[in-house]
Structure formats: structure tokens, C-alpha cells
Amino acid sequence: MQTLLPSQTFSASVSKEYVIVDADECGFNNGGCSMNATCTNIPGSRMCTCNPGYTGDGLTCEVPPARLIINEILANEPGSATSGEFVELVNVGGSALDISGWTVSDATAVRHTFAAGTVLAPGKAVVVFGGASSIPSGLSNAVAASTGTLNLANTSDSVTVKDTAGISVDSFSYTSSLASADGVSMNRNPDATVGAGFALHNTVSTLTASAGKRANGTAF
Ligand SMILES: [Ca+2]
Ligand SMILES: [Ca+2]
């Protein structure tokens, strides 16, 4: 890359152009950037920017590990059909996650164990309903609780996800303020965000719940 400086006039009859030649550091070894980064030549230096799907400082760029969070809980089922209770989980990491054998519990007992071969792709959600009869038709990322119920209290209760080693991956304890409205779920705010608090779904978006979908109703 060459940078042309403005012509400078030294006398009435003589002018001179200065030309600075800038080395393209990106031309060799990706400029020292990570091979998962884009090197951009700039005057006197270069910039390293991790490619989409990678995180880091540009010199080191890695795929973020898989990470599962509880994103949405509907404890207070619409009407009185407890099959409509659900727990939505999201893999907010950058790698696929095998959740075969992982469990979902309330404060009392294990209510669901994921079947063998259950893999959650990066950025995707799976929703566990209390019963199959309440799974909306066409919702492909939904399963029914393996014990036949989630048994989530409408007052206060907790939801815990554990891996196959029995180690808690995520857990949330709620009180009635998040479960007293019929058919209104509690949801991370902002949606699908690690460490975000829970709020009533109809304060996160215009919807009362969004089983298996983003809070705004679009697909994960
Ligand atoms: Ca309930
Ligand atoms: Ca949702």
C-alpha cells in the first residue's frame, strides 16, 4: 500500500511529491495473526480480527466452547393442563453439545433425562414440555418430560440441569412473582444471554411465552 502525501511547494517553480511505502505485514504468515483471523494492513502496522465464529484477541482466535443455559421456564401452565409447563435450554456456546443422559430437575426430583443421541448445535434450543400433548404441532426441537411431568410449582420452585456426572450445569430458583401469571413464562432478559436475570416474558417481548423459539418468536 502506498500513501501519497499532498504535493508541497517549495518555491514558485519547484514542487515535490513525497511517497511513503508501507510494508504489507499481512503478506507473510497472515501478519502473525491467528490463522482463524483476518489480517488487515494499515499504515505502519496491521490489524488482526477474529473471523466470525471465533473469539479472542486476533493473535489467538478459538471456537468458544459449548455452554448450556436455562433460558425460559413456564411454570404456570395455561389453564390447568400441567403438560403445558416447559423448560427451554439454549446452547449459547460455539460448539455442539451432546446432552445425552443430562437431566432436568425441579426442587424435588429428576423430571426429565435426555435420550441417547441428543446433540444441541451451537446457538440452538431444546424445549422440554411437561407432556407431549402440549407440544405445538410443527415444533421440531421439543420433547416431552421422560417421567411424564415437570411438576413446576406456580409459587416457588427451582429448575436444575445436570450433566451425566451429576454436576449442575445451570440452575434457577424462582418465586411467585415470576410464576403467578397464567400462561406467562419467565425468560432471560436479554434473551439467551449468559448471566442475564429472568423477567416475565411479556416484558421481554410482546409474547407471553416462546417455547423453543427466540423471545420475539423467531427460530433459534
Ligand atoms: Ca405449574
Ligand atoms: Ca424462548
Does 194 have pLDDT greater than 60?
yes
**pLDDT tens by residue, 86-124:** 999 999 999 999 999 999 999 999 999 999 999 999 999
Q: Are 105 and 124 in contact (CB under 8 A)?
A: no
Cβ neighbours of residue 126 closer than 8 Å, sequence gap 6 or more: 88, 89, 99, 114, 118, 120, 141, 142, 143, 212
**pLDDT tens by residue, 136-146:** 999 999 999 99
* The CATH fold of domain 2-62: Laminin (2.10.25)
What pLDDT is stored for residue 19 in this prediction?
Answer: 65
The ligand whose atoms approach the alpha carbon of 212 most closely is 2
- Rounded distance from Cα 31 to ligand 1 centre (Å): 57
- Residue ranges per domain, the chain? 2-62, 68-204
Higher pLDDT residue, 4 or 121? Answer: 121
Name the burial class of residue 124, with classes exposed (0-12), middle (13-18) and buried (19+) by CB atoms within 10 angstroms of its CB. middle
- Rounded distance from Cα 83 to ligand 2 centre (Å): 17
- Rounded distance from Cα 130 to ligand 1 centre (Å): 9
> Whole-number mean pLDDT of the chain?
93
What pLDDT is stored for residue 137 in this prediction?
Answer: 95
Q: At 203, which helix (H) or strand (E)?
A: helix 201-204
Mean pLDDT to the nearest integer, 119-131: 97
The ligand whose atoms approach the alpha carbon of 192 most closely is 2
- Rounded distance from Cα 203 to ligand 1 centre (Å): 20
- Rounded distance from Cα 84 to ligand 1 centre (Å): 8
**pLDDT tens by residue, 47-95:** 999 999 899 999 999 998 999 999 999 999 999 999 999 999 999 999 9
- Rounded distance from Cα 65 to ligand 1 centre (Å): 33
Percent of the chain with pLDDT over 90: 88
Cis before residue 190, ω within 30 degrees of 0? yes
- Rounded distance from Cα 219 to ligand 2 centre (Å): 9
- Rounded distance from Cα 22 to ligand 2 centre (Å): 51
- Rounded distance from Cα 129 to ligand 2 centre (Å): 13
Does 11 have pLDDT greater than 90?
no
Does 199 have pLDDT greater than 80?
yes
Please tell me the distance from the alpha carbon of residue 46 to that of residue 83, in angstroms, as a whole number: 57
> Could you write out the three-class secondary structure of 40-102?
EEECCEEEEEECCCCEECCCCEECCCCCEEEEEEECCCCCCCHHHCEEEEEECCCCCEECCCC
What pLDDT is stored for residue 10 in this prediction?
Answer: 46
Say which CATH class 68-204 falls into.
Answer: mainly beta
Q: Is the dihedral of CA 194, 103, 199, 191 positive or negative?
A: positive
Higher pLDDT residue, 159 or 19? Answer: 159
Beta bridge partners of residue 119, listed in sequence order: 98
Mean pLDDT to the nearest integer, 179-194: 97
Same topology between domain 2-62 and domain 68-204: no
Does 2 have pLDDT greater than 50?
no
Instruction: Give pTM, 2 decimals.
Output: 0.81
Which of the four pLDDT bands, split at 50, 70 and 90, describes residue 18? low
What pLDDT is stored for residue 32 in this prediction?
Answer: 96
The ligand whose atoms approach the alpha carbon of 83 most closely is 1
- Rounded distance from Cα 54 to ligand 2 centre (Å): 25
Neighbouring residues of the ion ligand 2, judged by CB less than 5 Å: 72, 88, 210
The ligand whose atoms approach the alpha carbon of 139 most closely is 2
